């Protein structure tokens, strides 16, 4: 699982530019896939056939991460940007960033910005260009960048990295796809695009599949210093009850709980008051489906040092595998 985590977190995959990561995942899963499709938005859909093909399961994890898009370049060669997704402005300030074409820069704040006024509007990127002309040779309007990847082992089984949201969801889904026995039903592992800008990719993907059951995999807030705890790091897979986009289907919540108890898999419940997930796209597609979400406790979400416990990842993978193999 750690190998997959390292591979997935090192890729560039800002919303709208998920192709490199999709390629990596595709290569990883090709040996076990019964079919692989890519749709017009760039969602990657991987099928594993089940014992019972009359029903379909969709597993969704998003490949994209937050980032910045170039909106203009000024006379001094500074690059002005807009956010892609919910940028954590304080955490992103004075970081090293990398563009899709490899150009590296540093993201800085306008001179004199007070701590309380830190926002994306105050951010510019310095790529070391002496003027507009020099900058335009390397970067143009519409180009996209993100904070450079980093994966750091902390104590015990804990790690910090950029974009664990939602690479570890992809890791859990890919791991389950690689290691599960024949699924109960036809199971589509979907690696979605553009979740961070409003769960856009999962909608057409869900429409294509029209699943009977849907399970999303995404991160959720774990207790941080000085904050209230939605979930606790290291205490197992979080079975989602709700977030601001969805009220999870009770039959999925109950089934996941049952499977966790049966398999001695550590679990906890998650009630999230903010943030949306691909769960909602699946639940509301076509005539509707029973959808839920297994969340991975994560600290400091949308910062370059998102922190997880590998033990939780194991629990999530086990729980997902149990659902795929045993069905409802």
The Cα–Cα gap between 25 and 37 comes to: 12
Shortest distance, position 270 Cβ to another protein, whole Å: 26
Spatial contact of 253 and 292, defined as CB atoms under 8 Å apart: yes
Going from the C-alpha of 30 to that of each of 27, 41, 235, 306, the distances in angstroms are 5, 20, 33, 29
Q: Pairing between strand 144-147 and 95-99?
A: antiparallel
Catalytic-residue membership of 195: yes
Nearer to another protein, 71 or 152 (CB): 71
Element (H, E) at 318: helix 310-326
Shortest distance, position 285 Cβ to another protein, whole Å: 10
Nearer to another protein, 36 or 41 (CB): 41
Q: Burial-class residue 126 by CB neighbours within 10 Å (0-12, 13-18, 19+).
A: middle
Nearer to another protein, 75 or 155 (CB): 75
The Cα–Cα gap between 268 and 256 comes to: 11
Both tokens assigned to 264: 């001695």
Q: Which residues bind another protein (CB under 8 A)?
A: 15-17, 39-41, 43, 69, 71-74, 80, 82-84, 140-142, 194, 197, 200-201, 203-205, 207-208
Nearer to another protein, 17 or 239 (CB): 17
Q: By three-state DSSP, how is residue 156 classified?
A: coil
Shortest distance, position 208 Cβ to another protein, whole Å: 5
Task: List, in sequence order, every residue forming a beta bridge with 43; answer none if it has no partner.
Answer: none
Shortest distance, position 169 Cβ to another protein, whole Å: 20
Is there a cis peptide before residue 307, judged by omega within 30 degrees of 0? no
Both tokens assigned to 84: 């892609």
Nearer to another protein, 31 or 40 (CB): 40
Which of 18, 28, 65, 195 is catalytic? The answer is 195
Spatial contact of 104 and 97, defined as CB atoms under 8 Å apart: yes
Shortest distance, position 77 Cβ to another protein, whole Å: 13
* Closest to 182 measured CA to CA, from 75, 32, 67: 32
Active site residues: 195
């Amino acid at each position: 699982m750690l190998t997959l985590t390292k591979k997935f977190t090192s890729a560039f995959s800002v919303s709208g530019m998920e192709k490199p990561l999709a390629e990596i995942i595709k290569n990883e899963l090709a040996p076990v896939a019964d079919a692989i499709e890519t749709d017009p938005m760039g969602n990657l859909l991987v099928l594993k056939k089940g014992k019972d093909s009359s029903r379909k399961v969709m597993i969704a994890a998003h490949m994209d991460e937050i980032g910045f898009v170039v909106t203009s370049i000024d006379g001094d060669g500074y690059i002005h940007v807009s956010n892609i997704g919910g940028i954590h402005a304080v955490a992103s300030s004075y970081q090293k960033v990398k563009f899709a074409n490899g150009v590296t820069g540093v993201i800085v704040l306008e001179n004199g910005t007070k701590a309380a006024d830190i926002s994306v509007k105050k951010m510019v990127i310095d790529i070391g260009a002496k003027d507009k002309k020099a900058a335009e040779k390397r970067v143009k309007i519409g180009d996209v960048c993100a904070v450079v990847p980093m994966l750091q082992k902390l104590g015990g089984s804990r790690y910090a990295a950029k974009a664990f949201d939602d690479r570890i969801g992809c890791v859990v889904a890919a791991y389950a796809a690689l290691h599960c026995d024949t699924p109960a039903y036809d199971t589509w592992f979907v690696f979605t695009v553009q979740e961070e800008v409003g769960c856009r990719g999962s909608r057409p993907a869900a429409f294509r599949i029209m699943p009977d059951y849907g399970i999303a995999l995404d991160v959720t807030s774990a207790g941080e210093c000085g904050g209230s705890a939605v979930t606790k790091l290291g205490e197992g897979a979080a079975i989602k009850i709700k977030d601001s986009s969805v009220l999870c289907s009770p039959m999925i919540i109950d089934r996941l709980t049952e499977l966790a108890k049966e398999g001695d898999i550590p679990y906890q419940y998650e009630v999230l008051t903010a943030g949306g997930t691909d769960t909602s796209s699946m639940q509301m597609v076509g005539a509707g489906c029973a959808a839920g979400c297994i969340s991975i406790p994560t600290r400091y979400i949308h910062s370059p040092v998102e922190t997880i416990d590998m033990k939780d990842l194991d629990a999530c993978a086990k729980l997902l595998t149990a659902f795929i193999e045993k069905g409802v």
